[in-house]
Amino acid sequence: MKTRTRKTFWGLASLFLLACLPARAQTSSTEFLPEIDAHLKLNSAFRVYLQAKDDREGGDPTQFSVGPSIQLYLKPLLKLKTVKTFDLDDSKSRAFVLEAGYRYITAPNAPSENRMETIATFNSPLKAGLRVSDRNRADLDWKNSKFTWRYRNKLTLERTFSIHSYHFIPYVAVEPFYESQYNKWSTTSLYAGCLFPIRKHFEFNTYYEHDNNTGKSPNQQVNSLGLALYLYFSIEKK
């Protein structure tokens, strides 16, 4: 059973990784950002995942990034488990999540980039079924033998709703970026989206993103539409 789960996990991850690649050449006034995250839960405390996505984070040009991450989290809180009952992401039921990862980043007509990510996320339940998360992330980047870093803080508010027996999860989020190359808070990203769980292993994330980039003059306003597919599997012993 474990072998079958691993093969399914890596097979689907590879398939969607290849599907994302052609999107790198797309250009338009409103960017389209595809993404695939394939998660594999190892036990009650550890989870790994492979991510492949297009993005324009922090005012960067459209680029493609791919790489693995590992997550460590505490025991679930009862109130958080109740709030995120229909969300497939097990980490949202944990009050504190630590994460480390690596990303290889490419863009047209630009040298490749290596990035280390360190992340700490705090989750908390609120009244009326709301859940808030505070993600603190540091990106350590090496490009052309030059080192830069940035700090980003994403605050997300979400709630589960239902139509008959189906449940979906709309959310809003704000994320400011502090960039070492500009020595200031140079980008603010605003998100509005919705999560759509599909059975036990699949979840879609559709969202709109507005970025206000002040690192370079003149300021840039960028709008994007995102579509992410999250895959969730487990080899945890019950």
Task: Give 150's contacts (C-beta < 8 A, 6+ positions apart).
Answer: 58, 138, 139, 141, 177, 178, 179, 180
pLDDT at 55: 86
For residue 124, the domain's CATH number is 2.40.128
pLDDT at 16: 47
- pTM of the prediction? 0.84
pLDDT at 165: 83
Give me the half-sphere count of Cα atoms (radius 13 Å) on the Cβ side of residue 151.
7
Token output for 221: 């306003």
pLDDT at 60: 78
Give the Cα separation of 207 and 41 in Å (integer).
25
* Residues of the chain predicted below pLDDT 50: 1, 5, 8-9, 12-13, 15-28
pLDDT at 4: 55
- Number of domains the chain contains: 1
Q: Domain range holding 157?
A: 2-234
